[in-house]
Amino acid sequence: MVTDGEREDLIPPGTVLLDKYRVIRTLGVGGMGVVVLADHTTLGTPVAIKFLSPQFAAVSTAARRFVQEAKAASRISSEHIVRVFDAGTIEQFGPYIIMEYLEGRDLGRELRERGGLPIEEVVDYGAQAALALAEAHNAGVVHRDVKPTNLYVVQRSDGSAWLKVLDFGISKVVEQAPLHTTSTGAILGSALYMSPEQMRSAKNVDHRTDVYALGVSMYELLAGVHPYEAESFSELVMKVNLEPPADLLVRRPDVPADLAAALAKAYRTRPEDRYQTVAELASALVPWASPSTRHTIEAIVRVDARRRPSSLPSLPPPPASAPLVDRGTNSEQKDSIVAPLAQSATGSMHPWGRTHAETPTPQAERSTRSLLAVGVAVGVALSLATAALYMRRGHTNSSAASVSLADESLDASQAAARAEPTARAAASAVSAPPTAPSGSERAPKRAPASATPPGTAATPSSAGATASVGAPSASAAPTASSSGPGCYTQDADGSLRRCGE
């Protein structure tokens, strides 16, 4: 196994790499490799060059991923991410990444030297890290190793602190390597910030694992200690999955309770119970943010708005048969459509919410029965109106006082419209239908033409429906007409009788 001292000697100072970078000194040695400071031999520009450790470089998949992740980081457009200039492989030293050189301190070192940091300072660092992660997530990159030592602070020319996020995606190689390839301390160094789902499988994590890690990192920056304490990786896994984290207010009493609650949502056990984006986490920090930090949070929200339209879940296809519901009154029907869109941001419900195939509520069932009853009543009313018209037609047809089919019949739409207000009366009339007169009975007397003009609506009291019947014209004397089953003559008194009687 290569020791730290041996790693420093892997690339001696003065070595020229790629014919243009001269190594000045070793900047640091970590579980993944070594980082050296070099300058461009022509331009004099300082750069940091990171090399993958020999035990990882020997694994082809690890070497390939090292370079691929560097390419992914170079696509991220953010001033809060260390810039990547070049990547490749040098035969003598293995895979490398050439990055911008930063002069500053990582927050892990700040914690060791200062303990818990001021609240406003932690909120500012959290917002800057969230902006970097929002840009990364927008580019389809998940960091997987957010922790204080990967949050690097430099001082700008105006004296303000500027945070850079380092090592995008490198932890994925560590997580998939056998445990014996690195020290226990190195494993715990990342595992302390791993989400529960990342502990189970590093392959199937999404951007919410970065939300978890950022929340845990901010907890530590405030309290000075991690929310979980364990002596081994297995003990840590058990605690993270089965026990609540230590109360931040106990470890840092001056932290506002609302701020502690806002951070606690970031590192909840289940991904769907957390903030679904870093923008949501950053927005929750606004009450404790300085004016400059609020501008950063506004930028995070704008970045997230560019990503979210393409990430909204699509609605599931409707089921083959859906229950009949009253769409005008059933509010749960509306919820079944709105829920999938509204809850993709919060994740507090099932991803698709309710579906149309659910059992209808009692309110929906009552609405269904009401609609069916109205439909039946309207149908009965139309039937009774048609029957009444047929009976009248059978008793009032003559050449002098004939009633045409056009005058007797109603258009279907008109009949339905007129029958609807009296649907309930028609429904009650089903149990007592009118009795048609026998053929030997005389037809009832009709009102004179002057009393009922043609086209006036007449309402049979027994049916409770409306029918339009043209009134016969008055005649001073009986008028002969052709014989037949519908042949009637009108007497002087206005009454009708069959032809030949």
Which residue of the set 124, 145, 167, 304 is catalytic?
A: 145
Residue 81 to residue 296: CA distance in whole angstroms: 14
CA-wise closest residue to 212 among 120, 111, 347, 104: 347
Strand-pairing partners, residue 97, are 50, 87
How confident is the model at residue 274, as a pLDDT?
Answer: 98
How confident is the model at residue 88, as a pLDDT?
Answer: 85
Asked if the structure places residue 207 within a domain, the reply is: yes
Do the Cβ atoms of 227 and 234 come closer than 8 Å? no
Do the Cβ atoms of 11 and 21 come closer than 8 Å? no
- DSSP helix/strand/coil, 324: coil
Residues 241, 388 within the same domain: no
Beta-strand relationship, 496-498 and 488-490: antiparallel
Residues 249, 368 within the same domain: no
Residues 30, 55 within the same domain: yes
Q: What angle do CA 42, 43, 45 make, to 5 degrees?
A: 125
Residues 89, 146 within the same domain: no
Q: Would you state the structure tokens that stand for residue 321, as one six-digit string?
A: 């048969």
Q: Which domain holds residue 92?
A: 1-101
How confident is the model at residue 128, as a pLDDT?
Answer: 98
Asked if the structure places residue 229 within a domain, the reply is: yes
Residues 170, 149 within the same domain: yes
Terminal CA-CA length for the chain: 128
Asked if the structure places residue 192 within a domain, the reply is: yes
Residues 2, 121 within the same domain: no
Q: Show pLDDT as tens, one digit a residue, over the chain (501 residues).
A: 444 455 556 789 999 999 999 999 999 887 678 999 999 999 999 999 999 888 777 777 777 777 777 877 788 888 999 999 998 888 888 889 999 999 999 999 999 999 999 999 999 999 999 999 999 999 888 888 999 999 999 999 888 999 999 887 544 433 444 333 334 444 444 899 999 999 988 778 899 999 999 999 999 999 999 999 999 999 999 999 999 999 999 999 999 999 999 999 999 999 999 999 999 999 999 999 999 999 999 999 999 998 765 544 333 343 343 333 333 334 333 333 333 333 333 333 333 333 333 344 444 444 444 444 445 444 545 554 444 444 444 444 443 333 333 333 334 444 444 444 444 444 444 444 444 444 444 444 444 444 444 444 444 443 444 444 444 444 444 444 444 455 656 666 656 666 665
Residues 117, 205 within the same domain: yes
The last residue of one of the domains, among 101, 126, 158, is: 101
Asked if the structure places residue 336 within a domain, the reply is: no
Residues 158, 289 within the same domain: yes
Residues 43, 147 within the same domain: no
How confident is the model at residue 330, as a pLDDT?
Answer: 40
Residues 116, 265 within the same domain: yes
Number of domains in the chain: 3
CA-wise closest residue to 128 among 99, 152, 102, 158: 152
Residue 77 to residue 189: CA distance in whole angstroms: 28
Residue 91 to residue 454: CA distance in whole angstroms: 107
Residues 53, 156 within the same domain: no
For residues 179, 180, 186, 187, the Cα torsion angle rounded to the nearest 10 degrees is: 20
Residue 37 to residue 92: CA distance in whole angstroms: 18
Residue 466 to residue 367: CA distance in whole angstroms: 27
How confident is the model at residue 41, as a pLDDT?
Answer: 95
> Residue 286's CB: how many other CB atoms inside 10 A?
14
Asked if the structure places residue 452 within a domain, the reply is: no
Beta strands in 81-122, from DSSP E residues, in sequence order = 84-90, 94-100, 104-106
Asked if the structure places residue 90 within a domain, the reply is: yes
The last residue of one of the domains, among 271, 292, 311, is: 311
Asked if the structure places residue 501 within a domain, the reply is: no
CATH assignment at residue 6: 3.30.200.20
CA-wise closest residue to 195 among 119, 142, 130, 139: 142
Q: Would you state the structure tokens that stand for residue 425, as one six-digit string?
A: 């009366």
How confident is the model at residue 67, as a pLDDT?
Answer: 75
Concatenating the DSSP letter of every residue in 353-396 gives: ---TTSPPPHHHHHHHHHHHHHHHHHHHHHHHHHHHHHHHHHH-
Catalytic-residue membership of 145:
yes
Asked if the structure places residue 475 within a domain, the reply is: no
How confident is the model at residue 420, as a pLDDT?
Answer: 45
Residues 186, 46 within the same domain: no
The last residue of one of the domains, among 311, 340, 371, is: 311
H-helix or E-strand spanning residue 197: helix 196-200
